[in-house]
């Protein structure tokens, strides 16, 4: 059984997402919305980590540094300006999709395992992740034209 493999993946990528949201929140604090919204979204990701704890304890997770490597590949050094904001939101979107894909895979496995607790947790968390992705997409669409076409 390889549930442990994906529990490590989700655990690691949700942690990376929470940390990245905190970093971006602080880094783009001059925007009217980034600080507050990214803090809120980071808070959801940290709640997910709490919810995962009993499941990880039950199944035990394999060690996996892939999420960390993914995150360090995505996020460059701190970047400034409107293009930088767009690229940071872009990378958050990619990372959030990594999280979302992990939930999908785990939801499938949970059904095959008839594990109601795992299923409920993954479904509940996946709703939040989808809301995180929706906000990122809304904000990216708003920021893109100005950043690519107008900004110096």
Partner 1 sequence: MHETRDSITDIWGDRAPNNGEWQERIDERTIEPPEHWVQSACVLCSNGCGMDIGVKDGKIVGVRGRGIDRVNRGRLGPKGLHGWIANHSPDRLTTPLIRRNGRLEAASWDEAMDLIVERSQTIQQQRTAGAIGFYTSGQLFLEEYYTLGVIGKAGLGTPHMDGNTRLCTATAAAALKATFGSDGQPGSYTDLDTTAAILHIGHNIASQQTVLWARILDRLAGKNPPKLVVIDPRQTYTAKEADVHLAPKVGTNIPVMNGLLNLIIQAGHINPEYIAAHTVGFETLTATVSQWTPERVEQVANVPVRDLQAAAEILGTARSLVSTVLQGVYQSMQATAAACQVNNLHLIRGLIGTPGNGIMQMNGQPTAQNTRESGADGDLPAFRNWDNPDHIADLARLWNVDPMVIPHWSPPTHSMQIWRYAEQGSIELLWISGTNPAVSLPELSRARKILQKEDLFVIVQDAFMTETAELADVVLPAAIWGEKTGCFTNVDRTVHISHQAIDPPGEARADLDIFLDYARRMDFRDRDGAPLIKWHNSEQAFEAWKECTRGRPCDYTGMSYAKLSQGSGIQWPCNEKYPDGASHLYTDSHFNTDYDYCETYGHDLDTGAATTPEEYRADDPKGKAFLKAADYLRPYEEPDAEYPLWLTTGRVVYHFHTRTKTGRSPELNRAAPDAFIQISEPDATQYGIAAGDSIAVTSRRGKIIVPARIGDIIPGVVFIPFHYGYWDNGNRTRAANELTLTEWDPISKQPHFKYAAVKINKVEA
Which parts of this chain interact with partner 1 (CB under 8 A)?
30-33, 35-37, 39-41, 81-82, 131-132, 134-135, 137-138, 141-142, 144-146, 149-152
Minimum CB separation of residue 66 from partner 1 in Å reads: 28
Residues 6+ apart with CB under 8 A from 33: 139
* Cα–Cα distance for residue pair 17/25, rounded to 1 Å: 12
* CA nearest neighbour of 13 among 101, 87, 77: 101
| Closer residue to partner 1, CB minimum distance, 6 or 135 | 135
Minimum CB separation of residue 15 from partner 1 in Å reads: 21
| Closer residue to partner 1, CB minimum distance, 84 or 105 | 84
Minimum CB separation of residue 80 from partner 1 in Å reads: 9
Residues 6+ apart with CB under 8 A from 34: 24, 25, 28, 85
| Closer residue to partner 1, CB minimum distance, 11 or 28 | 28
Minimum CB separation of residue 141 from partner 1 in Å reads: 5
Give the length of the chain. 152
**In the Cβ-directed half-sphere of 13, how many Cα atoms lie within 13 Å?**
25
């Amino acid at each position: 059984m390889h549930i442990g493999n994906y529990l490590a993946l989700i655990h690691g990528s949700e942690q990376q997402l929470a940390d990245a949201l905190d970093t971006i929140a602080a880094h783009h604090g001059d925007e009217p919305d980034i600080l507050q919204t990214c803090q809120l979204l980071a808070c959801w990701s940290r709640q997910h980590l709490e919810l995962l704890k009993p499941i990880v304890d039950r199944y035990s997770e394999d060690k996996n540094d892939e999420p960390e490597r993914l995150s360090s590949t995505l996020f460059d050094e701190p970047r400034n300006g409107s293009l930088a904001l767009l690229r940071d939101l872009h990378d958050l979107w990619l990372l959030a999709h990594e999280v979302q894909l992990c939930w999908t895979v785990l939801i499938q496995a949970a059904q095959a395992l008839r594990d109601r607790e795992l299923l409920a947790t993954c479904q509940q968390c996946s709703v939040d992740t989808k809301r995180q992705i929706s906000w990122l997409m809304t904000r990216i669409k708003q920021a893109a034209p100005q950043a690519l076409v107008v900004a110096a």
